[in-house]
Structure 1
C-alpha cells in the first residue's frame, strides 16, 4: 500500500461492510515521494506502529472514531491494546474500507468514477493537513499570503511563525504529484464526506497529539490525517501522529523524518534537485510518472547516520508514549547525536 508498510487482508470490504486486515510496518523509509530508499532504519517500523497505536487509543478515548482495532502481539499473535505488549509490535490490526481505482489521463483524474465505484464505504481521497507553525521552508509561504490565514503580516517574516490557531488545508491523496486544493475542490473530491467535518476531525486530532507531545517536551509542528467514510460517519484511517506523518521538535531539533530529508538536502543536493526537476518536467508534459524522468538516484546513508536515525525514532517513541519500549538512549542524547551530524 505504501513504500514503508505492507498491507494484509483478512476479509475484503464490501459496498456496505468494512473488512479486516492489518498494516505491517517495515524499517524502510521514503523521502521526497521517492518510494523505498536504499537503506533500512532499524526499529523504525516498530516505532511507527507503537506510536500510531498509542495515538489511536488516545483518539478513541477522546471520542474520535477510527479504523484501529489493536496491535498484534509478537508473543501471542493476538490483537491487544498497546499496553498489553512487552515486545514493540510491528503489526497493527485495522478495519478496511474500499479503495477504488482512480482513473486518469495524464494529470487529469476522474473522481466521479472513483465515487461511483466506492458507494457509501470508501477511503476519502484526500489528505487533511494541519499546521501549528510556518517554518522558513514551508510551501505555505510560496502558495499563500499571511492575510489568507487572518495573520497580521504584510508578508511572511524571516523566522518561524508560531500560530495561535492551526491552519488546516486539503491536498490530494492518490495523484502522482499531490497538490493542495481549494476548499470547494476538496469538497468535490471528498464525495459524500463533508469538508467541514473533516476539518473538525483534523483539529481534534491535532489537539490530542499536540497535548500528548507537550508531556514529553516535544513541540508538535504539523501533520496530516486520512479518513474513511462509512455509514454516514467519518473515521480516522491510515496512521496518526508518528514521526513520519507529523513533524515534532525537541528543544529546536527535528525529531521526525524531516531530519532525514534535511540530511539528504545537505549531502545529496544533486539528487534532490533532480527529483524537483523531474516533477516539474512531468507537470510540463502532463504525465503522472515523474520518476521515469529523474536523471539521478539516491545513495546509501553512512552507518552513523542510520544508527542516529534509529536511536531518534526509538528514543522519541519512548518519550512520547511514556514507556521504555525500546532499548535506546535518552531523547536528549539521541537529539544531540543528530545535531552533531
Structure 2
C-alpha cells in the first residue's frame, strides 16, 4: 500500500513470471513525504486513475512497454438485461480501455513484479540483498526524474551548478530556466528519505536494468506527456517514472503523467499537487519547518524513521480549499484527456479559483 493508492493482488509474481493485480486509487493525498494527510480530495483518485490510464494508452501507441492492462469498469449488462461476462477476471468488474469505462474509474489493472525487502541498518541500505532476492523480475529501486524547466526553489539549484548540465550560466539565474533539452536524474525509491544519486551509484542500484535504457525510456515518456499537455494548453514542467525489469526488458510501472507524479502549469498557475504543497507552506509553515528539521535530524542521527522525530502534525484544509483542489484535479483531467469525464468547471475557472486562495 502507498499513501494514496492501494494494491489488489490477484496472482502473485514469481521469480520468472509477472503477477496480476490492480491499483485502487483513493482520494487521499500526501505532501512532503508525510503519507496520508488528515483530509481527502473528492474525485482525486478517479482523476489520477483516468489520467494515468490515458497516458499508458498513449505510450502503447508509441511502442513503449508498460505494466498497464486497462481500467476496471463496473460489469455491464447486455441489451436484454443479461449480465455480460468479464473479458478478464478482476474481482469488481471487467478490464477495458479508458474509452469504454462507463464512469471515471478508480481501479487500474496491472502486471505485478517482485518487490523484495530492502534491508537497512540506520541509513545504510543493502542493495546486494535486494537484488539477490529479486533475480531478473523486479521493480527497479529508483525513480527517474525528468525536468523541462528549473524553477526558483528547485532542489537542482542547491545540488548542482548550471555547468553540470551543459548550461551557459555562471550561476543559476533568478527566474525560471526553460531547458532546450530535458535534464534526467536518478533518485532512490525505497529509502525512508529520497536522495539523488550520481550516475555510477544509480547504475549499481538499478541492478540488471541498464541505466542508459532507463534514461531513454524516461525521455520518451517525457516527450509523450509534454506533447499531449501542449494540446490541452498545459505546460509540462517536470515529472518522474518508475520501471520494472523482466525478461531483459525495462517496462514503465507505477502511474505516469498525473497531477501527483508530474508538475503542470496553465498560464503560469500550478495545475498539480504542487498547488497543495505551496498552500501548506503558506498556511502551515510551522509544520513544514518541523518536517524539514526532522529529516535533517534523522540524517544526522543516521536513522531512517524521520517522521517519529517530527514534533508537529498537519492540520486539515479549509472546506473551500478542498473544493478548489477537487475542481482543479477534475477540470485538469477533463482538459488533458479531451473528454468531460467529470462535472467540473472549465480549467480556466478552476485555475482562477486556486489563484485567489
Q: Calculate the TM-score normalised by the size of structure 2.
A: 0.95
- Structure 1: where are the runs of 5+ without partners? none
CA distance in 1, matches of 2:262, 2:153: 16
**Contact (CA 8 Å) 1:27, 1:44: kept in 2 or not?**
yes
Measure, in 1, the Cα distance between the counterparts of 2:75 and 2:237: 35
What's 1:49 paired with? 49
Shift of 1:85: 1.2
Contact 1:75 1:87 in 2 (8 A): no
Which of 143, 147, 152 pairs up with 1:136?
A: 152
Residue aligning to 2:34? 34
CA-atom RMSD in angstroms:
0.5
Tell me the equivalent position of 1:312.
328
Output the CA distance in 1 between the equivalents of 2:265 and 2:74.
Answer: 30
Aligned partners of 1:64 and 1:235 also within 8 Å: yes
C-alpha contact 1:7 1:22 (8 A) present in aligned 2: yes
Matches of 2:120 and 2:156 in 1, distance apart?
Answer: 27
| Whole-angstrom CA distance in 2 between matches of 1:48 and 1:178 | 23
Match of 2:107 in 1: 91
* 1:119 counterpart (132, 135, 146): 135
Structure 1 position 288, deviation (Å): 0.2
SS at match of 2:40: coil
- The equivalent position to 1:108 in structure 2, one of 104, 107, 124, is 124
**Contact 1:37-1:298 within 8 A present in 2 as well:** yes
What displacement does 1:195 show? 0.6
User: Hey, what does 2:309 align to over in structure 1?
Assistant: 293
Give the alignment of 1:214-293 within 5 angstroms: 214-293=230-309
**Equivalent position SS for 2:181:** strand
1:165 to 171, 181, 187: 181
Is residue 86–residue 325 contact of structure 1 (8 Å, CA) maintained in 2? no
What is the correspondence of 1:180-195 to structure 2 with a 5 Å cutoff? 180-195=196-211
Which residue does 1:2 correspond to in 2?
2
Provide the secondary structure at the position in 1 that maps to 2:110. Answer: strand
**Partner secondary structure for residue 122 of structure 1:** strand
SS at the partner of 2:6? strand
Q: Is residue 351 of structure 2 the alignment partner of residue 338 of structure 1?
A: no
Superposed CA offset, 1:37-95 (max 9, x none): 00000000000000000000000110000000000003541000000013100000000
Q: SS of 1:171's equivalent?
A: strand
Aligned: 1:328 with 2:344: yes
* Runs (5+) with no aligned partner, structure 2: 77-92
Find the residue that maps to 1:152 and give its secondary structure: coil
Residue equivalent to 1:15? 15
- CA distance in 1 between counterparts of 2:155 and 2:215 reads 20
Q: Is the 8 A contact 1:17 1:121 kept in 2?
A: yes
- Alpha-carbon distance in structure 2 between the residues aligned to 1:211 and 1:82: 20
Q: Does 1:196 align with 2:204?
A: no
